[in-house]
Amino acid sequence: NRLKASREVESVDLPSCRLIKGIEAGAEDIDILPNGLAFFSVGLKFPGLHSFAPDKPGGILLMDLNEEKPKAKELRISRGFNLASFNPHGISTFIDSDDTVYLFVVNHPDFKNTVEIFKFEEEENSLLHLKTIRHELLPSVNDVIAVGPAHFYATNDHYFTDPFLKYLETFLNLHWTNVVYYSPNEVKLVAEGFDSANGINMSPDKKYIYVADVLAHEIHVLEKQPNMNLTQVKVLQLDTLVDNLSIDPSSGDIWVGCHPNGQKLFVYDPSNPPSSEVLRIQNILSEKPLVTTVYANNGSVLQGSSVATVYDGILLIGTLYHRALYCEL
């Protein structure tokens, strides 16, 4: 039941969608700046997870959504950073008071766990690597939400790093996964007890942190305290495996990339591929949040949606290891 192994999806189509050229081996996470520049984390590889390009390193692509026919172009990364082992996962952008744009990237070089901080240099179409963060409280990072130039919340989707212990932990349903706050001065556990903490994001007023628990099919709303601790406000129960969370900055709506059937994700069968599902959640703090299925597909077009994010009537949908969609709403 945690994997929703028996669930099949009914198609929900949008009138105008196209596959994005150049994305064929996953775009696990997408983050859009307020000016319409979208970052894509592409080419994630993981033990047990299918890959259409197992020998190609991952990368970060950029798409300018203000263009008439936007294209995804790979960003150059500064010398000194190990590109051959780049294996990007969750990402988050941060704009500093001096307008510097930072890109935070969860990275799994050789299946290890780091958070990389880059400075985005728009004129050069490149990322300048600033810092690699490793920490014992970050054993299995999935996603981050940046809250300062070197400050973030991160989800751990497992308690253990070792693949066998990871498997055992999930099998035994231990609920040991957590959220960690990281800053140069202080690193601490701020929320725990998740089955598998995955996507993380923040409300536009910066008061609330949202955490997706993928195997419990839940979105947790947590209130940010002045000392950066988190206190639980509420839990929204859904009927699907919730992956990354994106926020519409104007409405505060939460857009969720979901896996309707988790079994199909881990046992990849091209004749029975994993499906995709995008939910929009309105008024999550109210008594009755409104949950709408905006897009759903049985895998004939898009397999394994992990993120959905909006900008000015455009919806971008990324996947764990398949393609990505550009849709008009």
Binding-site residue positions: 28-29, 91, 142-143, 198, 243-244
Tokens of 206: 């910066």
Tokens of 297: 């597909």
Residues 177, 223, 290: CA angle, nearest 5 degrees: 90
Q: Based on CB atoms, which residue is closest to Ca ion, 21 or 63?
A: 63
Tokens of 248: 């519409």
Q: Based on CB atoms, which residue is closest to Ca ion, 210 or 295?
A: 210
Q: Based on CB atoms, which residue is closest to Ca ion, 98 or 203?
A: 203
Q: Based on CB atoms, which residue is closest to Ca ion, 143 or 169?
A: 143
Q: How far is the CB of 57 from Ca ion (least distance, A)?
A: 19
Residue from 143, 169, 195, 277 binding Ca ion (CB under 5 A): 143
Residue from 90, 139, 149, 304 binding Ca ion (CB under 5 A): 90
Residues of span 43-62 touching Ca ion by CB under 5 A: none
Q: Which stretch binds Ca ion (CB under 5 A): 113-121, 133-141, 242-250, 285-293?
A: 242-250
Question: Edge-to-edge strands of the sheet including 290-297?
Answer: 241-247, 254-259, 276-282, 290-297
Secondary structure (H, E, C), the chain:
CCCCCCCCCCCECCCEEEECCCCCCCEEEEEECCCCEEEEEECCCCCCCCCCCCCCCCEEEEEECCCCCCCEEECEECCCCCCCCCCEEEEEEEECCCCCEEEEEEECHHHCCEEEEEEEECCCCEEEEEEEECCCCCCCEEEEEEEECCEEEEEECCCCCCHHHHHHHHHCCCCCEEEEEECCCCEEEEEEEECCEEEEEECCCCCEEEEEECCCCEEEEEEECCCCCEEEEEEEECCCEEEEEEECCCCCCEEEEEECCHHHHHCCCCCCCCCEEEEEEECCCCCCCEEEEEEEECCCCCCCEEEEEEECCEEEEEECCCCCEEEEC
Distance CA 322, CA 270 (A): 11
Q: Is 241 within 8 Å of 256 (Cβ atoms)?
A: no
Q: How far is the CB of 137 from Ca ion (least distance, A)?
A: 18
Q: Which stretch binds Ca ion (CB under 5 A): 4-12, 43-51, 91-99, 100-108?
A: 91-99
Q: Which stretch binds Ca ion (CB under 5 A): 55-63, 180-188, 193-201, 287-295?
A: 193-201
- Binding of residue 29 to Ca ion (CB under 5 A): yes
Contacts with Ca ion by CB under 5 A: the residue count is 8
Annotated binding site for Ca(2+): 28-29, 91, 142-143, 198, 243-244
Question: x-or-dash pattern for Ca ion, window 201-240, by CB under 5 A?
Answer: ----------------------------------------
Q: How far is the CB of 325 from Ca ion (least distance, A)?
A: 17
Residue that has been written with the tokens 């979208």 in this structure: 38
Q: Which stretch binds Ca ion (CB under 5 A): 8-16, 44-52, 89-97, 222-230?
A: 89-97
User: Choosing from 89, 158, 259, 322, which is the catalytic residue?
Assistant: 89
- Binding of residue 243 to Ca ion (CB under 5 A): yes
Q: How far is the CB of 201 from Ca ion (least distance, A)?
A: 6
Q: Based on CB atoms, which residue is closest to Ca ion, 15 or 275?
A: 275
Residue from 140, 198, 203, 275 binding Ca ion (CB under 5 A): 198
- Binding of residue 157 to Ca ion (CB under 5 A): no
Q: Based on CB atoms, which residue is closest to Ca ion, 70 or 199?
A: 199
89 is catalytic: yes
Q: Which residues are catalytic?
A: 89
Residues that bind Ca ion (CB under 5 A): 29, 90, 92, 142-143, 198, 243-244
